[in-house]
Each structure stands twice: as C-alpha cells, then as structure tokens.
Amino acid sequence: MTENTIRLERRLPHPTAAVWAALTTPELLSRWWAPGDIAPTVGHRFTMDMGAWGKQQCQVLAVEPGESISFLFSEGQLDTTVTWRLEAVEDGTVLHLVHEGFRLDTPMGQQAFQGMGGGWPGLLSRIDGVLSGVS
C-alpha cells in the first residue's frame, strides 16, 4: 500500500479468459467478493451488496475487454476507483489490483483504506477457489 492506494498482485493458475469472467460475471463475482450486477461496459451503473457496509453504487469507467476494467466504487461515499488488469503468463494469469482515491483526511476514508488494505488479499485468494470449478 502506498499513500492512499492499495496495490496488489495475485498469480492465478487459470487462463486470462477465466479470470476475466470471475471479475465481470455477476454470478462469479458474488462467489468471491459480493453480489453486484457488474457488466464490462463503459458507463454501466451497478450496485454491489456489501452486507454490513450496505449497498455501494458503482460505475464502469474504462474497459479493455479481456485485459482491464476500472470502476468507481462507493459513489457518493468513498468515491474510490478499483482497477483490475490481467497479464497473461506461461502458467496462468497475473491479476493486478489498484484501489485508489481513498480520502485519508476523513475518518471514513481512513477506516476504509485500512479495512480494504487488510481485506483485499484474502478476497483475491478466493478467486482461485471459484475458478478451480470453472476453468
């Protein structure tokens, strides 16, 4: 984690198409992160049900099909940006996560940054379990 940005990499033994599906298919996304009607279409607005943290409004900002997707997360509350980028490697895919824009000058921003900084590694490790039944 640097400044107000969480950066992680996870090597997954699955082809990029399978990892892309885990990130952009609502049914698969809900199995490792949270229910939400995501779609890899710029401008698409969707809601993620984060349980105790409530329903978070999101909007897709940029898409390179099969390669990367960025979306505004928690619009009107955190207003952060999540970007996933896929890198094909010989034995699978390296998933790059950048979650940026936390306002560390606010208690909510600090709490979210610390909580998500600790939470993302575990979440990303769950993708492998979901994909082991998919790819």
Task: Kindly report the pTM of this predicted structure.
Answer: 0.94
Token code pair at residue 15 = 């082809």
User: Under 8 Å CB-to-CB from 48, ≥6 apart: which residues?
Assistant: 33, 34, 35, 36, 38, 55, 56, 58, 73
Whether the pLDDT of residue 2 is over 70: the answer is: no
Mean pLDDT of 23-47: 97
Instruction: Give a yes or no: residue 34 inside a domain.
Output: yes
Predicted local confidence at residue 135, as pLDDT: 46
Domain count, the chain: 1
Instruction: Give a yes or no: residue 54 inside a domain.
Output: yes
The alpha carbon of 111 is separated from its chain's Cα centroid by a whole number of angstroms, namely 18
Find the CATH number of the domain harbouring 28: 3.30.530.20
Range of the domain at 62: 5-130
Predicted local confidence at residue 134, as pLDDT: 60
User: Under 8 Å CB-to-CB from 81, ≥6 apart: which residues?
Assistant: 61, 70, 71, 72, 73, 98, 99, 100, 101
pLDDT-derived band at 112 (thresholds 50, 70, 90) equals very high
Rounded to whole angstroms, the Cα distance separating 97 from 74 reads 17
Q: How far is CA 40 from CA 27, 53, 64, 74, in A?
A: 14, 24, 9, 17
Token code pair at residue 65 = 């099909």
Instruction: Give a yes or no: residue 135 inside a domain.
Output: no
| β-sheet bridge partners, residue 63 | 69
Token code pair at residue 23 = 């990130």
